Chains A and B, each alone.
Chain A
């Protein structure tokens, strides 16, 4: 049953090659997204009941536990929303004539392949295959980033594929060293399998493992957009079609961090504490937040601004994983969920704005509330949410990260990060809040064009507001068990 998780997006990708009719393509895409959501639901239930979900097939490649199921659920939910929004988005592009009908097949083919690699990354046991899947996400999404095939998107796509491939290559070095640290302990048939490594973590060769962690953090960190390896991210996120930006930001960054977290848990278990990994991860986290804050303050392009905000939030999650207390890990995972939902909502809304105004420049957008009543409102509230204002869910998770920093006895760290986040808030407010008011340019007609997209936005908005106030017990339980996987038995 779980294997259908792989088959659904693959099948959808295959169908996208065969089918020529645009409407049918939309149907296939949405059906597969719904199926994916159902399967993810099944996997969630299985994991809550049994702890893990694995099959002995294919060298026991398939493996899901609480940690991966959380990310899988994020993927499934966001995929559904994005595919609904994409229908409206693509139709609008077709209507405007910026897109030829034949390219829709390519779009869906690449999108489903992208989803397949992402799902694969989250459901494999073997860290080598995990690496292959993460590299696969880069390759599948390169042409999505360069979809419009003009100078700017081409530049963004080239940077994306080169920087990420090289970064990922660094991670491969790390994986080789991980293999080296275990090569004498573990049966070659089970080499690089995460659960085996995790069980034998104490006996692995520590110096090699340390080196391996450094490479893996830098490698997958590149893919997760941690500063100073983040340079591809603003370009790719701003130049990609908006549904793809939502996927990149909401899902892809998470899967890259997920890979780091998997290795992190092994390394910390081996070393017995988190001093070594903690220092490095906190360093990268704070640096990412600082760099993002700096660039947000001077940003003139709203999609780039959102991209930098993604860097900032990846920094917050890395920071939380670096602090490595049960509370911070819990908060970090929770923040992952919240950021994904909020950021993909914002990117989808920004897609509507871009289609309406035809510019990415903040100065070119005025009177958004009148022109796009739904998207405008969602964008407005979403900006509050992303900059960490209550009552939205990001506030809840971000504040727990800081509190855990204070509780761990690092008031300086907590203080610095709070200051940086205040700067981010100020930057976003100063840059963006003027776009909602004033007089719209004459060329813009008011009214939503992407109706399914608008519906999706409202759903997402409800989701993030509700989860900020109330966290359902099953989710909490899942997060707790994921946290126990990362920090073995909750002891540090």
Chain B
């Protein structure tokens, strides 16, 4: 069981690297969908395991919610938001891609040094999984910083959320059920709100380039 989670955690980390290496908003959305599917797979495996062991459906329900929300609904919402804003291929990042990737690599090393020495994470597998999923969070942050477009930032936020979710899964086998559901509600609301904001920003600023949001200073 653990070796599957090891691989899944590595693949989830890999998918966030793929995300960083993409240039176009559509490929971000596609990669996000792949990442979410991997997370749903993780939750599915864990859910079946807990169903067999404890007879609880909680994690399986969470898995279904992930599929519905993160694999189907949110990517579609993002595509729709992307469709409403003006279509223009612009450079969306400040640094070039190999450099971005190398910085993310540094983030993984950082995650390794900061997380792997915690006393309780003594199991090697747990250690690996938490390091990987924690790196996903850090890469999500970095993705947000490195992109200029509003949709890129939304994706970064979602990647952070994904990273947090898998961190919770790998370290504690999920948060309490109520909390998980609440987090989903918050997340979908946040994405809806951000989507509306993107449309409005596009109306007012005639672009979703956040470099133009520089009126408020001091």
User: Could you list which residues of chain A lie within 8 angstroms of chain B, going by C-beta atoms?
Assistant: 59, 126, 128-129, 131-132, 135-136, 138-139, 142-143, 146, 149-152, 154-159, 161-162, 165-166, 169, 172-173, 175-177, 179-181, 183, 188, 191-192, 205-208, 211, 234-235, 238-239, 295, 298-301, 304
CB distance from B143 to the nearest CB of A (A): 11
Task: Say yes or no for B51: interface residue by CB 8 A criterion.
Answer: no
Nearest neighbor of A204 in chain B, beta-carbon distance: B120
Q: Which residues of A contact B27 (CB under 8 A)?
A: none
**B216–A239 contact, CB under 8 A?**
yes
Of A139, A151, A234, which one neighbours B204 at CB under 8 angstroms?
A151
13 residue pairs bridging A and B, Cβ less than 8 Å apart: A128-B183, A135-B186, A146-B200, A151-B204, A152-B216, A155-B215, A157-B197, A159-B213, A166-B157, A169-B160, A176-B168, A205-B120, A239-B216
CB distance from B148 to the nearest CB of A (A): 13
Task: Say yes or no for B190: interface residue by CB 8 A criterion.
Answer: yes
Q: Please, how many angstroms separate the alpha-carbon atoms of A76 and B213 in the complex?
A: 35
Q: Which residues of A contact B134 (CB under 8 A)?
A: 173
Q: Which residues of B contact A129 (CB under 8 A)?
A: 178-179, 182
Q: Which residues of A contact B157 (CB under 8 A)?
A: 162, 165-166, 169
**B178–A126 contact, CB under 8 A?**
yes
Q: 6 other contacts beyond A146-B200, A159-B216, with CB at 8 A cut-off?
A: A128-B175, A132-B179, A158-B150, A173-B137, A176-B164, A180-B172
Task: Say yes or no for B189: interface residue by CB 8 A criterion.
Answer: yes
**B213–A128 contact, CB under 8 A?**
no
Task: Say yes or no for B57: interface residue by CB 8 A criterion.
Answer: no
Instruction: Known A151-B205, A162-B157; judge A128-B150 contact (CB<8 A).
Output: no
**B178–A154 contact, CB under 8 A?**
no
Q: Please, how many angstroms separate the alpha-carbon atoms of A159 and B212 in the complex?
A: 13
Q: Please, how many angstroms separate the alpha-carbon atoms of A128 and B186 in the complex?
A: 12
**B144–A151 contact, CB under 8 A?**
no
Total interface residues on B, CB under 8 Å, equals 41
Instruction: Known A151-B215, A180-B171, A181-B120; judge A172-B178 contact (CB<8 A).
Output: no
Q: Which residues of B contact A234 (CB under 8 A)?
A: 216, 218
**B218–A300 contact, CB under 8 A?**
yes
Of A139, A154, A169, which one neighbours B164 at CB under 8 angstroms?
A169
User: How would residues 180 to 213 of chain B score, 1 for a CB under 8 Å from any chain A CB and 0 otherwise?
Assistant: 0011011001100110010011001100001001
Q: Which residues of B contact A169 (CB under 8 A)?
A: 137, 157, 160-161, 164
Chain A binding surface, main DSSP class:
helix
Task: Say yes or no for B129: interface residue by CB 8 A criterion.
Answer: no
Task: Say yes or no for B36: interface residue by CB 8 A criterion.
Answer: no
**B218–A304 contact, CB under 8 A?**
yes
Q: Please, how many angstroms separate the alpha-carbon atoms of A176 and B205 in the complex?
A: 38
**B216–A128 contact, CB under 8 A?**
no
Q: Which residues of A contact B204 (CB under 8 A)?
A: 150-151, 154
**A207–B197 contact, CB under 8 A?**
no
Q: Please, how many angstroms separate the alpha-carbon atoms of A159 and B141 in the complex?
A: 15
Instruction: Known A165-B157, A173-B137; judge A126-B215 contact (CB<8 A).
Output: no
Task: Say yes or no for B132: interface residue by CB 8 A criterion.
Answer: no
**A235–B216 contact, CB under 8 A?**
yes
**B119–A205 contact, CB under 8 A?**
yes
**B183–A172 contact, CB under 8 A?**
yes
**A158–B176 contact, CB under 8 A?**
no
Task: Say yes or no for B167: interface residue by CB 8 A criterion.
Answer: yes
Task: Say yes or no for B153: interface residue by CB 8 A criterion.
Answer: yes
Considering only residues 113-154 of chain B, those with a C-beta below 8 Å from chain A are 115, 118-121, 134, 137, 141, 144, 150, 153
Instruction: Known A132-B182, A155-B216; judge A192-B119 contact (CB<8 A).
Output: no
Q: Please, how many angstroms separate the alpha-carbon atoms of A162 and B141 in the complex?
A: 11
Nearest neighbor of A206 in chain B, beta-carbon distance: B119
Q: Please, how many angstroms separate the alpha-carbon atoms of A208 and B186 in the complex?
A: 26
